[in-house]
Structure 1
Amino acid sequence: MMICLKKSDLRNAVACALLMATQAAFANGLSWSKEGPGSPDSGSGTDFSRSQIDLTLPLERRENRYESVRTDAHLDISEFRWSGTTALQSEYYWLSMPIEYRQKRGRSAEFTIRAEPGFMTDLNVLDGDSLAMNADLIGRVYQRSGTFWQFGLTVNREFGDYSPRPVLGMATKLTPDTEMLLGFPRTRIVSRWSDDLASFLYLRPAGGVWQEEITGLTGTYRASYTNWKLGVGGEFHWRGPLWISGELGQMRHRRVRATDDTGTEVVASPGDDAFWQVGIDLRY
């Protein structure tokens, strides 16, 4: 949520438009995606695929001229098919509460803090081992044109671990109807054909980490999946606050690590493969 002081202020209007392109990964709504199946380039198994359902609902929104706070409820459910192994036999859940605080600093700076505590679980493990938190600390510096530079740190399970990484990027308008965020860990280009229709291209991480119990074994075990998605898609305004979206693309640099029913760790590098996703977004 961008803090826009005046609609007549061109710089703020452009910045608001650019920020819409940067926040697509945090949209409210429901989506269903499917990856593969494809054969691993190396490691265990013969075929690997994943399907996932994501649901994010708004809980609270507050804002004034200089600050905004948003709180959501989020659930995603992942199901894997890893033929040739006995690993990843459950459904895997990430149940979380994303919280974002944004503050404007002077005329040309802003900082954002995001925290997303949650449970990474197969629903058999709901204790301290399954507690985790994504976190972002990001600063932005705006130029007169509305273009901004951003920098900071992120800890995000979508990388397949909880190691800290830098956030770097620049957002600008390529044309009056095309906005771009170029950086790490997300790049996104959005072209708006009308008030009700847009297309986009993006590159972002899309993995995960989960804690699970395995039948016949004692203790808990961690499973992780690393994956980068390069996708294209479109969205159109259906009615009221509802938007319909669809996308497809390819997955790169994939790595999966889990434990099979004998207690042995199994690892594979699934090959580059296709994915698709459809969804309904809630905007207001």
Structure 2
Amino acid sequence: MRKILVSLAVCLAASQAQASTFKWGHDVSGAPDKGTGSRFASTSVSISVPLERADRGTESLTSDVALELTEFRWEGANAAEGEYIWLSVPIHYRQKRRGSTEFHLMAEPGLMTDLDAVGTESLNLNVELSGRSYTGRTTFWQYGLIVNRYFGDRKPRPLLALATKLTNDTEIWLGFPKSNIQTRWSQTLSTYARFYPDGGYWKEEVDGVTPADVTTVSYTNWRMGVGAEFRWRPGVWLNAEIGQLRNRTIRATDSTGVEVSADPGENGYWQLGGSLRF
């Protein structure tokens, strides 16, 4: 994890004040409910830097450069022992259509690797294609299709959500794959409760296997948490979140070339973060 923190510090220094978000998350270590190993936990850190912002008429386009580094602590299993990188460029496009509808497209090409397996097999593309139909000034339905590595695979899934304002200060988003309720208590403080997927999918080169074999590491989990966001300084926001992990599965290939898996228990997690908004 020291290498992870050093790498992100370099990225943050290079981006200077343009860094948009930073997150550091940690799972509570616990025994798996079943499968290989005696204990399991993970740690991840990520940074996102704005690349481009453009608006023209009824269209808008934003892009970022994002880096996420993950490390697993899977005791009793000689697998998933590396430091895993997801380096990507999320691109968001929005177009207002006639009437009360919008078209949304998110495309996120990236590289998912342990830095030993760096080839075409490590390339990935997250995609979210959806539409919004407004039934009021602050209420809309969103529907579409999503392919995202946070589910631990590359399978397409439906996207469906209802977003509205319960009050002037409370917004609600209910649907799949995520739900969120957020309340703004003042200009400097808001709290939220959310449920969302947060796993991953990487390619790695397994050490000790001859010839060298490029395999897959897959981690799936759902997070149910509560958090708060606070404006610490003008333009500087801090965030903290705690909660529980559910429906977790880790799959990887061990040093003998055999695929192993485990279902970690429903342990807790915490996450700290910050963002710059100017």
Answer whether TM exceeds 0.5 for this pair: yes
Amino acid at match of 2:243: G
Provide the residue aligned with 1:253 in structure 2.
247
Q: For structure 1, which runs of at least 5 residues remain unmatched after alignment?
A: 1-26
Q: Deviations along 1:34-92, whole A, 9 cap, x unmatched?
A: 00201100100000000000111100000133110001000000000000010011000
1:122 pairs, out of 91, 100, 114, with 114
The reply on whether 1:176 has 2:141 as its aligned counterpart is no
Provide the residue aligned with 2:234 in structure 1.
240
How far apart, in 2, do the equivalents of 1:272 and 1:111 lie?
37
1:105 pairs, out of 94, 97, 101, with 97
The Cα shift of 1:222 comes to 0.4
Matches within 5 A, 1:27-106: 28-106=20-98
Provide the residue aligned with 1:12 in structure 2.
none
Q: Deviations along 1:3-57, whole A, 9 cap, x unmatched?
A: xxxxxxxxxxxxxxxxxxxxxxxx9311100002011001000000000001111
How far apart, in 1, do the equivalents of 2:42 and 2:136 lie?
44
Provide the residue aligned with 1:150 in structure 2.
142
The reply on whether 1:281 has 2:268 as its aligned counterpart is no
How far apart, in 2, do the equivalents of 1:69 and 1:88 lie?
37
Identity of aligned residues (%): 49
The Cα shift of 1:241 comes to 2.2
Amino acid at match of 2:267: D
The Cα shift of 1:175 comes to 1.6
| Secondary structure of residue in 2 paired with 1:194 | coil
Amino acid at match of 1:172: T
Q: Deviations along 1:126-158, whole A, 9 cap, x unmatched?
A: 110100010000100012342000000000000
Q: For structure 2, which runs of at least 5 residues remain unmatched after alignment?
A: 1-18
Root-mean-square deviation (CA, aligned residues, Å) is 1.1
Taking structure 1 as the reference length, the TM-score comes to 0.89
**4+ residue segments displaced more than 2 Å:** none
How far apart, in 2, do the equivalents of 1:267 and 1:121 lie?
19
Provide the residue aligned with 1:132 in structure 2.
124
